[in-house]
Chains A and B, each alone.
Chain A
Amino acid sequence: MVIKLDKVDVVVVGTGWAGGVVSAELSKAGYKVVALERGKNVTREDYIGVKDELRYTDRYEMMQNLASETITSRNYIDETALPVRTRKEVMVGTDLGGGSVHWAGATYRWKPYDFEIRSKTIERYGEKKIPADMTIQDWGITYDEMEPYYDRWEKTAGISGEPDPIGDMRSSDYPNPPMKSSPAVNLFMETTKKMGYHPYRVPSGNLSQPYTNPDGEKMNQCMFCSFCSHYGCDFGAKSDPLVTVLPTAMKTGNFEARTGAYVRRVLYNDGKATGVLYTDVMTGEEFEQPADVVVLAAFTFTNNRLLLLSKIGQPYDPKTRTGVIGRNFNAQFNITFLGARGYFKDKKFNYYMGAGALGATLSDFAGDNFDHSNVDFINGGGIELRQYGDGAIATNHVPKGTPGWGEEFKKNSVYYANRSLVVWYTMATMSYWHNFLDLDPMYTDSFNDPLLRVTYKYTDQDRNMAKFGIEKSREIMEAMGADIVDEDEVPEEFDHIYDGMHYAGGVIMGTDPATSAVNNYLQMWDVNNLFVVGASAFPQFAGHHPTATVGALAYRASEGIVNYLKNGGQLVKGEQKSHSI
């Protein structure tokens, strides 16, 4: 029997950056907000004294338990998808704060080009530059319109950084200066400057100094403790929802975060969402939480799956290329983050020290910052050197040609433990009609609901761009003076490894309801009181990390939700365009 609860103004599914920002903004505006989180209730105390590489990096302590639910994966439409069974193969956030707690903190705005990619590409290179199979589209919002939301999110998060010398308009500086540097980061900065590029420090959610954000939340200075990516911060020095937006929401008295609440359906009647159905994971009881507005902020996979399970919106059908839910699944997988590793015979770096977003980058080969007339791809990516602080288990880098085990492996892996650096290309990925999400016909979760199925393959665009990025990374690594430089190889095909949580799309935003699911307030075209927030809204992936854009969009959505609660209705008028996809 389903227990029906009292109605609230807004129910939010998920408590990461997306759900956290919406919860804070709506509860600050005076609305009653309940956020439902499938994972545990955690606080900073849960992360104090747990600097344990085996448990967190290798056994994925903070990631979703897959025993009850995972995704299935295949490359081609005529294949049987197989479940992605282990946490080594798929990382998804869970627990209060979600994946936004174990993120590393590298924080990038996306470019004007990214938001209007289709028109700008056609404008500069002509329509032919876009391959027929590629389904990239404009977001229905411009960078100039996004800028205030980026600005707000950066201030909330206390981002520490310096402006990109060839970057775009900013209404204000980062709220905090860049973090301290290190010799390896300096080497990258100096070398690339000499090469004529425009390096700058990676803007970070690891705070360079103590900071109080506009909501009054205090954060500490980063200790460069090295246990950052895959971990919660010991010190409250990494910007995450647990130290920012969730306490802000809590303080209003209008907010409740309910953990152990696994949402299984959006309830829907007559063109309106009426609430959500969830199961208490401790008792097994089923609850209905009615609300005036339903916000899905449960990350790409769940956002898509809940809509498909709830039969809301038209599912994308690759055969007819119609429908919207699941369309344009896009992501940064292993083909992204390829580059070159350099080994220094006589130089040692304190590479066991670091922080999630300690590093330097350049955007000379990002977006449309370089001429694409003579390359066989569009878009690009940042080039980065990051000093996360290497763990002992992870650091077994050996020059190519060294066997993978045995005496020689041991000798080289120990010798090079603090003598190797990597430079990589964080390239963009474009959307294609054949990369999409739907429900799996065979595999189910512990409630016997179908799992989400991913169909994804690499394309020439991906492989060509990766090759280009590897080449640039190698040149930089050579100029940095490495004695041995090993290039990564470009993979032939996608390997069903989902790490790093850079997966997006499926509930994308746009201007045309025929090719997008949500408008530029992330409000569903066909359901006025349903907002779908997060990377699921990206029509394609830019050549940088996603989270600042997730945060900015969450502010945009919050504004829309307030607007809807006051005035009702569809906030944007859809444009029917008759281009085929």
Chain B
Amino acid sequence: MADKSTGTNEKSGMSRRTFIKNSGLVAGGLVGGGLFGGLLTNQFQKKPELAAFSDEKISGGLQEARVFINRAEDFKILSAATERLFPKDDVGPGAIELGVPYFIDKQLAGEWGMNAKEYMKGPFITNIQAAGNHNNSGNQDSQGPNAATQVPTPTPRYQSILNRGEIFTLGLRRIDQVSQEDFGARFVDLAPEKQDEVLRMFEEDKVELKGVGSSNFFYMLLQVTIEGAYADPVYGGNKDMMGWKMKEYPGPRMSYLDTIEAEEFIVMEPESLRNYQGH
């Protein structure tokens, strides 16, 4: 799938910075040699734009590198999007500080991202709307048990030929494209409220996303963002158990036999799977 390079940058005169940031041009094959590549990497190191790239203060920083997402641009879009879904505020750290983008990258590289345990045999319904099938009338999750509190999966649910990794690559680039077309700037450069508007367009299926449907992608992104905030830190998110601390969640414990009857709320210093397994 070729990225569409937009006219925006060219019209405004191409500074070195926008040139490098234009992934469309990069995809176009300009980057061949190490020189340009080095330049690119350098650029990011000199101008860290997102906290995810400066990890000195965060433990385990050495374990963080992209293993699924190739383009740094895609990763920056992912980081910025997750931060809007789960922002840093006075309650506690946001997605980036929690390591959510790296968590997602790892998830995409694994079983989940590759749909290893899902049924992926055809035929695939290429036009769900035309198939007149499966109660298209809306998002049935607004009707299910505890509907308001679950991350929805729109019907007709997963019917894509693409696996989650492919959907994310497509979706992240589409986020950027929509930002440029409708708001005149790269997603990462948009003001937070504008970023929210872009994300909402995906949530409400107002963006066409080939073969998937934009809300499908959006809810997958939302689900995996929340997972990254609260899953055991062994997967690369929930950095230093900060997600659990925020929620007063103690992590895996051997036993609550002695406390199950307690009337008062008990706050425990969280422990992880690593503590639990004891090795």
Contacts and interface: CB of A to CB of B under 8 A. Distances in A.
Interface of A: 49, 51-54, 58-60, 65-67, 69-70, 74-75, 79-80, 82-89, 180-183, 221-227, 234, 334, 337-339, 341, 348-350, 352-354, 358, 389, 391-393, 395-400, 402, 404-407, 410-411, 414, 417-418, 422, 424, 442-444, 486, 488-493, 495-497
Contact of A67 (B116, B151, B153): B116
Given A52-B234, A225-B252, A488-B144, 19 more contacts: A53-B232, A59-B112, A66-B117, A80-B125, A82-B133, A183-B262, A224-B255, A225-B253, A337-B145, A350-B259, A392-B244, A397-B148, A397-B149, A399-B148, A414-B91, A442-B123, A489-B147, A491-B140, A492-B140
B22 to A, nearest CB: 29
A411 B89 CA distance: 9
Interface stretch (B52-60, B62-70, B156-164, B173-181): B156-164
A14 B141 CA distance: 33
Interface string B230-264: 11101100100001101111111111110111110
Contact of B119 (A69, A88, A393, A492): A69
Nearest to A78: B132
B86 interface: yes
A393 B252 contact: no
A54 B231 contact: yes
Given A70-B119, A79-B134, A398-B148, A495 B222 contact: no
Contacts of A82: 125, 133-134, 156, 159
A66 B158 CA distance: 13
Shortest beta-carbon contacts, A-B, top 4:
A51-B252, A491-B143, A223-B255, A353-B256
B180 to A, nearest CB: 23
Given A223-B256, A410-B89, A418 B248 contact: yes
Nearest to B278: A49
Contacts of B137: 492
Nearest to A68: B119
Contact of B155 (A397, A443, A495): A495
Interface in B87-132: 87, 89, 91-92, 111-112, 115-121, 123, 125, 131-132
B86 A52 contact: no
B158 A49 contact: no
B249 A392 contact: yes
A292 B255 CA distance: 47
A484 to B, nearest CB: 11
A489 B254 contact: no
Contacts of B92: 414
Chain A interface, >50% SS class: loop
Contacts of B158: 85-86, 88-89
B276 A75 contact: no
A494 to B, nearest CB: 8
Contacts of B91: 410-411, 414
A49 to B, nearest CB: 4
B85 interface: yes
Given A85-B118, A337-B145, A349 B260 contact: no
B231 A393 contact: yes
A444 B121 contact: yes
Nearest to B253: A225
A83 B226 CA distance: 27
Contacts of A52: 232, 234, 252, 273
B247 A417 contact: yes
B41 interface: no
Contacts, number: 221
A393 B111 contact: no
A87 B111 CA distance: 12
Interface string B260-271: 111101100000
B265 A492 contact: no
Nearest to B247: A417
Contacts of B117: 60, 65-67, 87
Given A227-B252, A417-B249, A491-B140, A353 B146 contact: no
A74 B259 contact: no
Contacts of B189: none
A344 to B, nearest CB: 11
10 contacts: A75-B135, A85-B119, A225-B255, A225-B256, A341-B146, A393-B227, A398-B149, A414-B247, A418-B248, A492-B137
A496 B256 CA distance: 36
B145 A488 contact: yes
Nearest to B255: A223
A85 B256 contact: no
Given A392-B230, A496-B156, A406 B146 contact: no
B277 interface: yes
A352 B119 contact: no
A61 to B, nearest CB: 9
B277 A334 contact: no
Contacts of A234: 254
A226 B254 CA distance: 9
A560 B199 CA distance: 61
B167 to A, nearest CB: 12
Contact of B265 (A54, A348, A411): A348
Contacts of A414: 91-92, 246-247
Contact of A59 (B111, B120, B142): B111
Of B87, B143, B151, most A-chain CB atoms within 10 Å: B143
B208 interface: no
A65 to B, nearest CB: 5
A213 to B, nearest CB: 22
Contacts of A398: 148-149
B21 interface: no
A69 to B, nearest CB: 7
Contact of A410 (B86, B123, B155, B244): B86
Given A410-B86, A492-B135, A49 B277 contact: yes
Given A51-B276, A82-B125, A414-B246, A350 B260 contact: yes
Nearest to A54: B231
A36 B42 CA distance: 59
A496 B134 CA distance: 9
B76 interface: no
A79 B135 CA distance: 11
Contacts of B118: 66-67, 85-87
